[in-house]
Structure 1
Amino acid sequence: MTIRLLIVDDHEILLRGLMLLIDGQQDLEVVGTADNGEEAIEKTLKLRPDIVLMDICMPVMDGLTATRKIRKLMPEVEVLILTMLDESDHLEEILESGASGYLLKTYGETEFFSAIHSVYSHLPYLYPHAMKHLMINQPEVSKSTKTSKKKVSLNQSNLSAREQEVLVLLSKGFYNKEIADKLFISVKTVESHKSKIMAKLQLFTRHELVSYAESNGLLNRKSDGD
């Protein structure tokens, strides 16, 4: 299946560079481009891409404002933030905007494509420094990940009851919107829970999360939405 992408960036050289990079991938397709947040919203509604690759600093409307509006209008569309600047100090704001991932443009091709496939699989993606920043500023995350380099057990994970429910539904293949509907919470809240789950468990792929849930007996549990 081809992943349909909308690129939003006001720097023409960077935009064309991304298009050229993506053009060499058989499973990726650029369906459109935009150079500001307002146009990004219009193009998203018109083209219905799977993922919007969103810059932050742009004229007319910034990327985070556009992300909030896109996620409200079309919650099934994932947004991957791409920026030249390390915005770790604003990480909470970025996650609260509804963005599914955050990556610096200075990272290489492997990281770039990994981020795209991760958010396409409805798994949040943070580049390593951003993840480290999140862990430092989340005491419960740091405590659980520093106890051992081995896979964290359920008792060690410090996952809240709600995070466990989200993990169960995620592992069963439900999409963000479906999880939100089942648990009577917003899609944005689901994204926030997923980011914290991945940080606490140090697991970054759907396969790893499913294996973790299965090995800890979570798949035999019923969630509030069952």
Structure 2
Amino acid sequence: AEECGGVAAPGDAAGGQGLAALVGRAREALGEIDVWCANAGVAPTGGADAPAAAWALAWEVNVLAHVRAADLLLPRWLERGSGRFVATVSAAGLLTSLGSAPYAVSKHGALAFAEWLAATYRHRGLRVHAVCPQGVRTDMLSSTGAMGEILLAPTAIEAEEVAGAVLAGLREERFLVLPHPEVAEYYAHRSTDPDRWLGGMNKLQRALEKGGAA
């Protein structure tokens, strides 16, 4: 924070009180918030058998943190007619995430909320951006283990590259920010031929279960 002239404000995004404290601290330091980056995320592994606590945490951090932040920020943004909400959604929100149902489902929720915000408040000055990278070389990628290594690591990019894509997206007023451009093609296949797309994903799943790549 000192290096970039910022203010460090430790907090907890998985709860209303924590988010209120973060928003309050930001307003104390800055006077007002122009851009909110909803970047906190968790990626618990597992499917329908994942513990209830894992599902709850994914929902709290990946979805409700966005909802609660918007609830705190919208009144002032709408009053002055400007504000930006940058949601880190992940390509999982456009596609899916093999090996982690809580992550895939909650990231779809994050995308749905970002879309709703944009559709509801664009004419009142709110700009919303959904950032949807694939693998990014962070601790979260490292924590995904063998599946993340096979699926994401080969095309993973640095966090600085994602930041550059975000800045470009803000300048160009784009809702979808795709640091991995190929995600647009995958998303198009998913929407226009879902059965074929699901077949391809299942083929990849079977290959992963055998310990290889498709």
TM-score per shorter chain, which class? 0.3 to 0.5
| Richer in strand (by share) | 1
Larger relative contact order, structure 1 or 2 (CA cutoff 8 Å, min sep 6)? 2
TM-score (norm 2): 0.33
TM-score, length-normalised on structure 1? 0.31
